[in-house]
Copies of this chain bind each other. A is one copy, B any other.
Amino acid sequence: MPQHNPVMTISELQSFMDQAFPQMKDRDGQMVIDALGPMTATVQMGFAAHNLRPGGTLSGPSMMGLADYAMYAVLLAHIGPVALAVTTNLNINFLQKPGPSTLYGEARLLKLGRRLAVGEVSLLQEGVDGPVAHVTLTYSIPPQLE
């Protein structure tokens, strides 16, 4: 049965995520889990030059990468590291151009069901008023958990 409180510590979750997504360390900006709480997680993505697009803005795919990582983190924190959950839907509204600096993803679970989990992620930067993007995601949770 899914819990409304995390069942993993930040360091347990970070270790698991580093193993599950080794390429996140090498290629994209490094992902660091900053905080876990009831139905919430915050992840930061360090700035990486290869995520830049013309005009000095972060690429859309790198923003999506952070949102997906943050949602996966908050989900696994609540159901444990065993599941092979997969993203089935992602909707992103681009609100402001993010500058060349650290991007923060504040994730919140809106629903934690046995088959589906739905959450939202606000993408933020220091010194910027309001989110630079807002994302909603749905994950399908594999049947062995039912």
Q: Which residues of B contact A61 (CB under 8 A)?
A: 61-62, 64-65, 68
Which among B52, B68, B92, B118 is the interface contact of A134 at CB below 8 angstroms?
B118
Q: Which of A46-103 contact B (CB under 8 A)?
A: 50, 52-54, 59-62, 64-65, 68, 86-97
- How far apart sit A95 and B134, CA to CA, in the bound complex (Å)? 18
- How far apart sit A53 and B87, CA to CA, in the bound complex (Å)? 13
Q: Which residues of B contact A89 (CB under 8 A)?
A: 89, 91-94, 138
- How far apart sit A120 and B121, CA to CA, in the bound complex (Å)? 12
Q: How far is the CB of A122 from chain B (nearest CB, A)?
A: 8
Size of interface on A: residues with Cβ below 8 Å to B = 41
Q: Which of A6-63 contact B (CB under 8 A)?
A: 20-21, 23, 27, 50, 52-54, 59-62
A60 adjacent to B64 (CB under 8 Å): yes
A140 adjacent to B111 (CB under 8 Å): no
Given A60-B65, A93-B138, A95-B111, 8 new contacts (CB under 8 A): A21-B53, A23-B50, A23-B53, A89-B91, A89-B94, A93-B110, A115-B140, A120-B134
